[in-house]
Structure 1
Amino acid sequence: MRRSILVLSLLATAAFAGVSHAGKAPAKSAVKPAAQAPAAKPQIGTFGLDETGFDRTIKPGDDFAAFAGGDWVKRTEIPADRASYGMFHVLQDLSLERTRTILEAASATPGDKIGDFYASFMDEKAADAKGITPVQPWLGEIKAAGDRTAIAVEMAKLQRRGVGGLFGLNVGQDDKAPDQYIVNVYQGGLGLPDRDYYLKDDAKLAQIRTQYQAYLAQMLTLIGEANAEARAAAIFNMEKNLATAHWTRIESRDADKTYNKWSFADFEGKAPGFPWAAYAGAAGVSGQASYLVGMPSAVTGEAKVFADTPIAVLQDYMMVRVLRSYAGYLSKPINDANFAFYGTILTGAPQQPLRWKRAVGTVGQGLGEAVGEQYVARYFPPESKAAADSLVKNIIAAMGARLDKLEWMAPETKVKAHAKLAAFTPKIGYPAKWRDYSSLTISRDDLVGNVAAANAFEYQRGLNKLGKPIDRGEWGMTPMTINAYANPVMNEIVFPAAILQPPFFDAKADPAINYGGIGVVIGHELSHHFDDQGRKYDATGKLTEWWTPEDVKRFTALTDKLVKQYDAYEPIPGQHIQGGLTLGENMADLAGLAVAYDAYHRSLHGKPAPIIDGLTGDQRFYLGYAQVWRIKFREPALRSQLLTDPHSPGAFRTAEVRNIDAWYAAFGAKPGDAMYLAPADRVRVW
Structure 2
Amino acid sequence: MNKFTKTIMAASVLSATCLMANAGPGGPKKPQKKTTAPAKKTALDLSFIDKSVVPGDNFFRYANGKWLDTATIPSTETGIGSFYDLAKSVRENLKLILQEASKNPGAKGSVNQLVGDFYASGMDSATIEKLGYSPIEPILKNIDKISSISELLQFVAAREHENGSSFLSWGIGPDDKNSSQNIVQFSQGGTGLPDRDYYFSTDPNKVKIVDAYKKYLTTAFTLVGIDAATAAKNTEIVFNIEKELASAHRTRVELRNPQLNYNKFSVADLDKKEPNIGWSKLLTELGAPTQTILIGQPAYYAKLDSLLTTVSISDWKVYYKAKTILGAASLLSSPFVNAQFAYSQVISGQKVQKPRWERIYGMTDGNLGEPLGQLYVKKYFTQTAKERMDQLVTNLEKSFAARIQKLDWMSDSTKKISLDKLSAFIRKIGYPDKWRDYSKVDINRNTFFENVESAAKNNYDYQLSQLNKPVDKTLWGMTPPTINAYYNPTINEIVFPAGILQPPFFNPEADDAVNYGGIGMVIGHEMTHGFDDQGSQYDKNGNLENWWGASDKSKFEEKVKQVVKLYDSFTVLDSLHVNGSLTTGENMADIGGIAIAYDAFKLTKQGHSTEKIDGFTPDQRFFLSFAQIWRIKLKDETVRRLIDLDPHSPAKWRVIGPLMNFTPFYQAFDVKPGQTMYRPESERIKIW
Smaller-chain TM-score bracket: over 0.9
Structure 1 Cα separation of the partners of residues 237 and 576 of structure 2: 29
Structure-to-structure mapping, 1:308-319, within 5 angstroms: 308-319=310-321
Structure 2 Cα separation of the partners of residues 98 and 70 of structure 1: 30
- Between Structure 1 and Structure 2, how many residues are aligned? 655
Q: Which residue of 1 aligns with 2:552?
A: 551
2:614 maps to amino acid: D
Cα drift, residue 510 of structure 1: 1.5
Q: Which residue of 2 aligns with 1:256?
A: 259
Q: Secondary structure at the match of 1:467?
A: coil
Q: Which residue of 1 aligns with 2:409?
A: 408
Q: Which residue of 2 aligns with 1:43?
A: 40
Cα drift, residue 671 of structure 1: 1.9
Structure 2 Cα separation of the partners of residues 575 and 503 of structure 1: 30
Q: Secondary structure at the match of 1:671?
A: coil
Q: Which residue of 2 aligns with 1:7?
A: 14
Structure 2 Cα separation of the partners of residues 599 and 2 of structure 1: 28
1:314 maps to amino acid: W
Change (3 A) 1:605 1:502: closer
Cα drift, residue 669 of structure 1: 1.9
Structure 2 Cα separation of the partners of residues 490 and 123 of structure 1: 41
Question: Per-residue CA shift, 1:238-293, capped at 9, x if unaligned?
Answer: 1111111100011111111111110112323444543434432221122x121011
Structure-to-structure mapping, 1:323-362, within 5 angstroms: 323-342=325-344, 344-362=345-363
Structure-to-structure mapping, 1:3-82, within 5 angstroms: 3-11=10-18, 43-45=40-42, 48-82=43-77
Question: Per-residue CA shift, 1:397-428, capped at 9, x if unaligned?
Answer: 11111111122222111111111112111100
Structure-to-structure mapping, 1:562-573, within 5 angstroms: 562-573=563-574
Structure 2 Cα separation of the partners of residues 103 and 478 of structure 1: 16
Structure 1 Cα separation of the partners of residues 293 and 410 of structure 2: 34
1:529 maps to amino acid: G
Cα drift, residue 44 of structure 1: 3.8
Structure 1 Cα separation of the partners of residues 495 and 634 of structure 2: 27
Structure 1 Cα separation of the partners of residues 607 and 97 of structure 2: 45
Structure 2 Cα separation of the partners of residues 139 and 645 of structure 1: 35
1:121 maps to amino acid: G
Cα drift, residue 606 of structure 1: 7.2
Structure 1 Cα separation of the partners of residues 70 and 312 of structure 2: 54
- Consecutive unaligned residues of structure 1, counting only runs of 5 or more, are 14-40
Structure-to-structure mapping, 1:525-564, within 5 angstroms: 525-564=526-565
Q: Could you tell me whether the CA contact under 8 Å between 2:607 and 2:619 is conserved in 1? A: no
Structure 2 Cα separation of the partners of residues 322 and 438 of structure 1: 27
1:64 maps to amino acid: F
1:245 pairs with 2:240 = no
Q: Secondary structure at the match of 2:118?
A: helix
Q: Secondary structure at the match of 2:185?
A: strand
Q: Which residue of 1 aligns with 2:307?
A: 305
Change (3 A) 1:150 1:471: same
Question: Per-residue CA shift, 1:426-471, capped at 9, x if unaligned?
Answer: 1000011122211111111111111111112111111101122321
Structure 1 Cα separation of the partners of residues 149 and 575 of structure 2: 42
Q: Which residue of 1 aligns with 2:97?
A: 102
Question: Per-residue CA shift, 1:581-602, capped at 9, x if unaligned?
Answer: 1000000011100000000001
Q: Which residue of 2 aligns with 1:438?
A: 439
Cα drift, residue 568 of structure 1: 1.5
1:139 pairs with 2:155 = no
Structure 1 Cα separation of the partners of residues 275 and 569 of structure 2: 42
Cα drift, residue 42 of structure 1: 8.7
Question: Per-residue CA shift, 1:292-330, capped at 9, x if unaligned?
Answer: 111112222233233322222211221121222221110
1:598 pairs with 2:599 = yes
Q: Could you tell me whether the CA contact under 8 Å between 2:492 and 2:540 is conserved in 1? A: yes
Q: Secondary structure at the match of 2:171?
A: strand
1:188 pairs with 2:189 = yes
Q: Could you tell me whether the CA contact under 8 Å between 1:153 and 1:282 is conserved in 2? A: yes
Identity %: 39
Structure 2 Cα separation of the partners of residues 410 and 113 of structure 1: 55
Cα drift, residue 542 of structure 1: 1.2
Structure 1 Cα separation of the partners of residues 41 and 95 of structure 2: 24
Structure 1 Cα separation of the partners of residues 267 and 379 of structure 2: 48
2:202 maps to amino acid: D
TM-score, with length taken from structure 1: 0.93
| CA RMSD, 1 decimal | 1.7
Q: Could you tell me whether the CA contact under 8 Å between 1:11 and 1:347 is conserved in 2? A: no
- Consecutive unaligned residues of structure 2, counting only runs of 5 or more, are 1-7, 21-37
Q: Which residue of 2 aligns with 1:293?
A: 295
Change (3 A) 1:449 1:213: same
Change (3 A) 1:42 1:480: closer
1:317 maps to amino acid: Y
Structure 1 Cα separation of the partners of residues 321 and 534 of structure 2: 38
Q: Which residue of 2 aligns with 1:153?
A: 154
Q: Which residue of 1 aligns with 2:277?
A: 274
Cα drift, residue 102 of structure 1: 1.1
Q: Could you tell me whether the CA contact under 8 Å between 1:489 and 1:541 is conserved in 2? A: yes
Structure 2 Cα separation of the partners of residues 447 and 362 of structure 1: 10
2:90 maps to amino acid: S
Structure 2 Cα separation of the partners of residues 375 and 397 of structure 1: 32
Structure 2 Cα separation of the partners of residues 431 and 360 of structure 1: 21
Q: Could you tell me whether the CA contact under 8 Å between 1:168 and 1:187 is conserved in 2? A: yes
Q: Name which of structure 1's ranges 310-319 and 444-453 shifts more when overlaid on structure 2.
A: 310-319
Structure 1 Cα separation of the partners of residues 575 and 60 of structure 2: 22
Structure 2 Cα separation of the partners of residues 604 and 589 of structure 1: 25
